[in-house]
Amino acid sequence: NAGVTQTPKFQVLKTGQSMTLQCAQDMNHNSMYWYRQDPGMGLRLIYYSASEGTTDKGEVPNGYNVSRLNKREFSLRLESAAPSQTSVYFCASIEDRSYNSPLHFGNGTRLTVT
């Protein structure tokens, strides 16, 4: 049981390049989330998927797209990377049958855009 797995762990992009951050969970959770964390700041929600086949915008969705490929996988795509997207990206999932369920986080993807 690996929990939430994110790939890659590190990535460096040039401005304008594209890439997809991958996230997979093996806990059979319905809901999945993408957060970003900038230095010295808390986490901000980018997008989330309440269930397979649905996605919704969070607090800071501009510049990103997401795909809920199946129940296990939720990917985040940067179509044209910008230096402002330099950040640490965390994927999380939750068993939302219970309102009390905590979020389970991956260990992040550290992205630098030059």
Residue identified by tokens 């919704």 is 56
SS3 (DSSP) at 58? coil
The Cα 78–Cα 16 span in angstroms is 9
- Least distance to other proteins, CB of residue 79, Å: 24
Judged by CB under 8 A, the stretch of 14-22, 38-46, 63-71, 74-82 that binds other proteins is: 38-46
User: How long a stretch of residues is the chain?
Assistant: 114
Contact flag: residue 53 with other proteins (CB under 8 A): no
# chain residues binding other proteins, by CB under 8 A? 29
Contact flag: residue 47 with other proteins (CB under 8 A): no
Judged by CB under 8 A, the stretch of 12-20, 44-52, 60-68, 71-79 that binds other proteins is: 44-52
In terms of Cβ atoms closer than 10 Å to its own Cβ (0-12, 13-18, 19+), residue 69 is: middle
- Least distance to other proteins, CB of residue 80, Å: 27
Contact flag: residue 31 with other proteins (CB under 8 A): yes
Range 41-55 burial, b when 16+ CB lie within 10 A, else e: eebebbbbbeeeeeb
- Site residues for other proteins per CB under 8 A: 4, 31, 33, 35, 40-45, 48, 50, 56, 58, 90, 92-94, 96, 99-108
